[in-house]
Amino acid sequence: MNEQPILTPRLSGSKAEPIELVDAENAYGAAFRKPENLFGPAISIFLHALFLFVAALLVINPPVRGDGRDVQIEFATLDQEELTDLEDNADAPATPLDPALAATLESLSDSLDITVASVAVDLADPGAIETLGGAGDEFSPGEVLEGGGSGTSFFGIESRGSRIVYIVDVSGSMSSQDRIATLRRNLTESVNQLPAHVHFLIIAYNDFAMPMLGQFRWVKADEPTKFKVRSWVSSLVSDGGTDPSSAFEQAFKLKPRPDVVFFMTDGQQTELLPPMISALNSKGRRTKINTIAFGDRSGEEIMRRVASESGGQYRYVPDSEGGP
């Protein structure tokens, strides 16, 4: 039998109008379905489901201490009232920052912006970043910018660098006034001053370039190497002509390129030498070339020019000063 809605008459003037009574259970269900009333139960259901999932994992595979005992784990749960408090606090406005602290943070931010801007470079131009060590080709630990590194002196010129080349004249004219003996002594003294972390190479030249120990490569200035080099220096003899061009070509092929070159000669140099050296020295960071005219001033003008164009020093050393 179908149930009929319960109607009750209500008088309005002289007529009676039927009104359908709302079922109390339907009214409660409509109120429960409001979104704001669903948040708390949904959170509670999620947390209980998560708790059951974790509990199941622990039952299947319980954690064990290093001594073999089971680990006791306690869970913190929230009741409905605490969940309601969390929901209310989530909508609360943020606490304003203390004005003094805000001013301090703003000042610090400005300082950092200035510092970063002061070291900014144009990354589109690789040459804008000056590299460390040997003229920009390659970097090795311990190398520093021009003017840094460890120092030594040669024929009275002091210079600093982590990679040093000596280009020295052993032509036939070096037999005059026993200059070859003076060269050997000055080379030995200069090499002995080099710290162990510095790399160096000696290139003797007459008509050809002759590297120490037979190889055009960097060697470290440790004691075993210095011992071998001293023996090689003591065997140098004067002979042949005077052409340093091949020695410079080999020096600038080194990787990394040298920080400092000591260039010594006792004779006249060709006018083609300065532009050739300048062309070799134009790639990457400039190598400083210190020049020494020993016992003869005939090549002084060219030697001064080579030193000046590279940022190096020039010095004339008379036989009397260079001798014993």
Q: What residues contact 11, with CB distance under 8 A and at least 6 apart?
A: none
Q: Give residue for tokens 């306690």.
A: 74
Name the residue among 166, 161, 136 with its Cα closest to residue 149: 161
- Which residues of the chain form CATH 3.40.50.410? 150-322
Angle 232-321-316 from CA coordinates, rounded to 5°: 85
pLDDT one digit per residue (tens) for the chain, 324 residues: 455 554 444 444 444 444 444 454 555 555 555 655 666 777 778 887 887 877 777 666 655 555 555 555 555 555 666 555 555 555 555 555 566 665 655 555 444 443 333 333 333 333 333 333 333 333 333 333 333 457 799 999 999 999 999 999 999 999 999 999 999 999 999 999 999 999 999 999 999 999 999 999 999 999 999 999 999 999 999 999 999 999 999 999 999 999 999 999 998 888 999 999 999 999 888 999 999 999 999 999 999 999 999 999 999 999 987 655
Separation between Cα atoms, residue 196 and residue 220, nearest integer Å: 7
User: Residue 169: how many CB atoms within 10 A of its CB?
Assistant: 25
Angle 237-241-243 from CA coordinates, rounded to 5°: 110
Of 3.40.50.410, 3.40.50.2300, 1.10.10.10, 3.40.190.290, which CATH number belongs to 150-322?
A: 3.40.50.410
Provide the 3-class DSSP secondary structure of residue 64: strand
CB 293 within 8 A of CB 302: no
Please state the pTM of the whole predicted model: 0.56
Q: Give residue for tokens 């309601």.
A: 84
Provide the 3-class DSSP secondary structure of residue 312: coil
Extract the tokens encoding 28: 């409660």
